[in-house]
Amino acid sequence: MAPTLRIDLEKIRNNTREVARRCKKHGIHLAGVTKGVCGFPEVAFAMIEGGCASLFDSRVANLRRLKEANVPVPVHLLRIPMLGELEEVIEFANGTLVSMAETIERLELLCGQRRRELEVLLMVDVGDLREGIWPDEMERFAEAFRRCRWVRCTGIGTNLGCFGGVLPTPLNLTRLVELKGELERLLALPVPLVSGGGTSSLHLLEEERMPAGVNHLRIGEALLLGRDVSRNRYLPGMHRDAVLFEAEIIELRRKPSVPIGTIGADAFGNVPVFEDRGLRLRAIVAAGRQDVLPEGLLPTDRGVHVLGASSDHLLLDVEDMMPVPRLGEVLTFEMSYGAMLAAATSSYVAKQFK
């Protein structure tokens, strides 16, 4: 059996309903993020049925897939666009994130040629040091928007937790709300949305500490995996097994737990370190780094431990697994966001929906 990504659409719908309920209570627009599963339309429809009012994805190819599937909600580019893909953004997206004045100017020119409006969220960096303008650049960007007829700034947003690990707090999100007010004053126009991040912001809803004025969240991990990696926690009331990875055992053999001979770098340039636990029953399953991120796999069977992987071999310690595994048996793993992203992207991994 080929390595397989098993996606339970009903569990994704249920996770989405739960997040949508929490967002609705605080007047927040829930945008579903489909990039973790390559914009699969089946998942997109499950998110919409669960309560997502729009969808975001970081790849134009995925937006095209969603548009061709006739999803009934607006779709937006989640990543700052490349200049070379702006025409496709205009064709397949209702909106995009922006952080460069030159990009806004080019979008306005291209939209004008097509007589087509495009919504944009202006990204502001409040500390994580990924994309976004500095707050003191707001006047310059307001001037860029004042020159636009076809490009409409419908909100401002920020990214938190993805690069610098900076967590959403009432302090940094209140600053975002203040900057939205500054942009409205400079434009003399309403700026409806304040997009306060993603899954890592949900804890502020749980603790009733979300600043008033934040009315938009871009959520993927919580809907797909029921977890928040920024705090290493599973979210209460959510399914953690909506997306699972499966792979078949192709070798079972008792071997030493420490390699024999002089140890150098492995196939990926890392020098491994081993604990001597004596002879152990080891399994190899037919999957590797071409298929999935092994560090992000959590076996669902007790007594199974991930040792590591090469390109196409995943090595497991199964000494304590009961009953004793058999050749050809399929093992199942829960996944981190990174593991899911890799498996969804790999053409070697089958995708099955239920």
**11 noted as active-site residue:** no
Residues linked to residue 124 through DSSP beta bridges, in sequence order: 133
Smallest CA-to-CA distance from 194 within 184, 204, 180, 206 is with 180
- Note if the pTM is more than 0.85: yes
Contact in structure between 19 and 30 (CB atoms under 8 Å): yes
CATH of 9-229, one of 3.30.1330.40, 3.20.20.10, 2.40.110.10, 3.40.50.410: 3.20.20.10
pLDDT digits (tens, 9 = 90+) for 143-197: 999 999 999 999 999 999 888 889 999 999 999 999 999 999 999 999 999 999 9
What is the pLDDT, as a whole number, of residue 164?
85
Name the percent of the chain lying above pLDDT 70.
100
Classified by CATH at the fold level, domain 243-353 comes out as Lyase, Ornithine Decarboxylase; Chain A, domain 1 (2.40.37)
Query: What does DSSP assign to residue 235?
Result: P
Q: Active-site residue among 11, 35, 351, 354?
A: 35
| 3-state secondary structure string across 156-211 | EECCCCCCCCCCCCHHHHHHHHHHHHHHHHHHCCCCCEEECCCHHHHHHHHCCCCC
What is the pLDDT, as a whole number, of residue 163?
84
| Residue 268 pLDDT greater than 80, yes or no | no
Within 10 Å of residue 267's Cβ, how many Cβ atoms? 10
Residue 18: which pLDDT band, with cuts at 50, 70 and 90? very high
Higher pLDDT, residue 232 or 8: 8
pLDDT digits (tens, 9 = 90+) for 56-93: 999 999 999 999 999 999 999 999 999 999 999 999 99
Pairing of strands 314-317, 305-309: antiparallel
The two counts, helices (H) then strands (E), for the chain are: 10, 18
> Rounded mean pLDDT of 318-346?
97
Domains 9-229 and 243-353 share a fold: no
Domain range list for the chain: 9-229, 243-353
What is the pLDDT, as a whole number, of residue 162?
86
